[in-house]
Structure 1
């Protein structure tokens, strides 16, 4: 079935793995702990460090206002493997027009990634390969943007990204490192898909950054970065000692901005820069294009600690 690439501006839905994939679990037979976190809890998830550096992680999800009852179309997972692994997948809501549930693809993708993350022979702590393995094993119809970050115990954070999920490293009150979105054109990001038109793991942006104790990592779907500026992210996370509280505060800030038609959001600033204009009634009143972008909002905050 030939299906066009869907624009990300079509409402996307957000509460993470909120079905059978939405539970935290411990494999008692292998003693390997992995966590799939749903939208509701915002408790910190400490990721144990076997040697030098690791993450202490807090998460929070807020679904699109029109999709609260359904739970959302975003998914993520957190793993204790090696120094720690965090990942976010953002489902593309345009599939609903084809009578396809857009949440199934990202949920299965993240579930598969969680299953493969500790495969040292095939994945070997490579986030790009992990994306490829998870994508190949995903049978659901749909598409999603995805980002995976894997922390080596020596402090090297490896990142692979397909689309417009984002990551920031905050050090000493400043953004030390940031990723850039991949897009075909404005509001149409790269995406993994069940169909042949999508991208693959080979198209991922791959990079790495050296981390140190005290660094803060903020990963999120575009619902965060379309509505919150970097300086707001810095001021918010530095105001909290607890990563769960920081993640919740960031998600709430993004949600507030997304519903504010007068807020000059990162999304509206970029839209104007790309030549988009305000509706006629606003132009008549001398008003410019402003406002946040209602969307699902996924926030993962990781604090780098040494043990």
Structure 2
């Protein structure tokens, strides 16, 4: 799919790095939401001031969030990075849900979710 194509494009260009992912798509005809979340970014679906759905942050040991990555494959790099995680799109959380008129989708990074309680966010 889309995420796999994006990863291949980045790898072809030898662009190195990693990132969490929160990808949402909405079918404009059926108002159907599909999401893929990897790591500690995420989303909330709020309806009539009530939390309906929240994606779940994903961590490896401690506070190391799941991430998609493109890393060098040279021997000197790989021999020094045996503890790196290699998360795949299939490791993410996939959610589907029907949307209704008036629903609010909030997409945010851990900067929001780590610093504000869910109830406070919903009240805003």
TM range (shorter): 0.7 to 0.9
Matched with 2:9 is 137
1:231 and 2:107 correspond:
no
Distance 2:20 2:66 in 1: 7
Distance 2:106 2:62 in 1: 23
Matched with 2:56 is 180
Runs of 4+ in structure 1 over 6 Å off? none
Distance 2:39 2:8 in 1: 18
Matched with 2:69 is 193
Greater strand content: 2
Residue 186 of structure 1, CA deviation: 2.5
1:85-134 superposed Cα distances (whole Å, 9 cap, x missing partner): xxxxxxxxxxxxxxxxxxxxxxxxxxxxxxxxxxxxxxxxxxxx222211
Distance 1:186 1:174 in 2: 30
Structure with greater Cα Rg: 1
1:210 to 98, 103, 109: 98
1:167-191 superposed Cα distances (whole Å, 9 cap, x missing partner): 1000111101111011112211111
Return the TM-score normalized by structure 1: 0.34
Residue 205 of structure 1, CA deviation: 1.4
**Which consecutive unaligned segments of at least 5 residues does structure 2 have?**
74-84
1:184-203 superposed Cα distances (whole Å, 9 cap, x missing partner): 12211111111374212222
More relative contact order, 1 or 2 (CA 8 Å, 6+ apart): 2
Q: Secondary structure at the match of 1:151?
A: strand
Matched with 1:150 is 25
Distance 2:95 2:53 in 1: 11
Q: Secondary structure at the match of 2:101?
A: coil
Q: Secondary structure at the match of 1:231?
A: helix
Within 5 Å, give how 1:262-273 maps onto structure 2.
none
1:239-295 superposed Cα distances (whole Å, 9 cap, x missing partner): xxxxxxxxxxxxxxxxxxxxxxxxxxxxxxxxxxxxxxxxxxxxxxxxxxxxxxxxx
**Which consecutive unaligned segments of at least 5 residues does structure 1 have?**
1-128, 237-307
